[in-house]
Amino acid sequence: MPSEPQPVSLMGLSRGVRADAARNRAAILEAATSLMADDPDEVSMQAVARRAGVGVGTLYRRFGDRQGLLLAVLDEGERQFQQAFLSGPAPLGPGSGEPVDPAERIRAFIHALLDRTLANLELLLAVERQEGRRTGPHAVWHLHLRALCSALGSARVPDPHYWADLLLAALAPSVVRDQLALGARPQALHDALDVVVVRVLRS
């Protein structure tokens, strides 16, 4: 059975930074988050620099390029999400008391990931267009689901790797976008996902 993964940042390992650099980073991320809320593809590095009150060269030195800035905007939320499902309270996390049914943790994880995708859809779509669906955190999500599926036993989940792929495919940003475009409401997506998860895990 695969072991639980270690947290992975969208930006890789963080480094210590000076206080002024930390303030600049915070201002840049606040500006980028605000500007990219509606249509990230239309936001330039120059616009972010103006809003943050820094030179555009500062952005390129700190984040490399526009894609690096997109990932940085999403990074803090991703860190918090990983902490929640890897070590937080049950049922999303393992909790600190009695062991939690793996099926309940899978269900909680899938719904939490859908909420995160809905809340950050435009940013995640922009990242998906650049990097595809398998960004760094995808490996953490996949290994986490594989570990939980394996814990259910081969009679219930004969191929944990495949079921992890299947569950995550339904939560790809482009899939969520297409369902919303067809008129699905967020609650309807949760309800449909719940039916799939229940059928898979209780078969």
Question: What are the pLDDT digits (tens) for 19-31?
Answer: 777 888 889 989 9
**Every domain of the chain and the residues it spans:** 19-201
CA dihedral 22, 23, 29, 31 (to 10 degrees): -170
Looking at residue 10, its pLDDT comes to 59
Structure tokens at 68: 């690096």
- CATH classification for the domain delimited by 19-201, as one of 3.40.50.300, 1.10.8.870, 1.25.40.10, 1.10.357.10: 1.10.357.10
Q: What is the mean pLDDT of the chain?
A: 86
Residues 75, 9: Cα–Cα separation, whole Å: 6
Looking at residue 13, its pLDDT comes to 42
Please, how many CA atoms are within 13 Å of residue 141, restricted to the half-sphere of its CB? 27
Question: What are the pLDDT digits (tens) for 140-177?
Answer: 999 999 999 999 999 888 999 999 999 999 999 999 99
Q: Is residue 14 pLDDT above 50, yes or no?
A: no
Q: Where does residue 4 fall: left (phi above 0), alpha (psi -120 to 50 degrees), or beta otherwise? A: beta
Residues 193, 173: Cα–Cα separation, whole Å: 14
